[in-house]
Amino acid sequence: MRLIDDLAATRLYYHRPLPTLPDILLIDIPPRFSGGGLALGRYYPVILESLAEMHEFEAFLCEPRMTPVAPALLDRRPSALRTRDIIFARYEPQIPNWPWLLICFWPQSYTAMVLPSADTFARGSYTIDAYSTEEELTDAELKLLATLGPEQARIVRSVATRLGNA
């Protein structure tokens, strides 16, 4: 059994909106493995910061296994992105019926406020949320911005993706 044939058979790459941001591989987990710990109860996002990581992860998905395993190969690998700014990036689905993604990069000054044992941040720096519509994403982004104080709100960078004609 290979994950690419079963657990990760249905997946979509969301391409980075800026060269410094990651690509996201979103895996639509089959119903027998889905549940509350997944985005929208069924999606598993994988943060891919480089082409080498993309190849490494594809090789991981293609490895023969006796039983399925969580696709958590890169989850705890520290992010290579370094900035003092909070970055919000919208990832638009490239095909219908896939969710919109809001990726937030949190600098170390923010991640250090959370207990080290907490699995709050993917790759030590990111939070990822999935939304059925762009409007839901916008509402969530505005609520998140409202929780930041005036000083923090000045350093937030929101990056939107737009596909199609540029």
Q: What is the tens place of the pLDDT at every residue in 84-102?
A: 888 889 999 999 999 999 9
pLDDT at 149: 67
**Within-domain flag for 154:** yes
Residue 60 lies in a domain: yes
- Which structural domain range is residue 148 located in? 3-159
Q: What is the pLDDT of residue 165?
A: 38
Tell me the per-residue pLDDT of 112-138, one tens digit each, with 9 for 90 and over.
888 766 678 999 999 999 999 999 999
Q: What is the mean pLDDT of residues 43-65?
A: 96
What percentage of residues in the chain have a pLDDT greater than 70? Answer: 87
Residue 166 has pLDDT above 50, yes or no: no
Task: State the chain's mean pLDDT as an integer.
Answer: 87
Question: How does pLDDT run across 24-52, given as a tens digit for each residue?
Answer: 999 999 999 888 889 998 999 999 999 99
CA distances from 148 to 5, 108, 156 (A): 42, 16, 9
Within a domain: 30: yes
Structural domain includes residue 135: yes
Q: Would residue 165 count as lying in a domain?
A: no
pTM: 0.86
pLDDT confidence of residue 115: 77
Buried b (16+ CB within 10 A) or exposed e, 91-127: bbbeeeebbbbbbbbbbeebbeeeeeeeeebbbebbe
Split at pLDDT 50, 70, 90, the class of 164 is very low
Question: Would you say residue 63 lies in a domain?
Answer: yes
Is the pLDDT score of 155 beyond 70? Answer: no
Residue at 46 is within a domain: yes
CB-neighbour burial class of residue 21 (10 A; exposed 0-12, middle 13-18, buried 19+): buried
In a domain, 44, yes or no: yes
pLDDT at 163 over 60: no
Q: How many domains, in total, are found in the chain?
A: 1
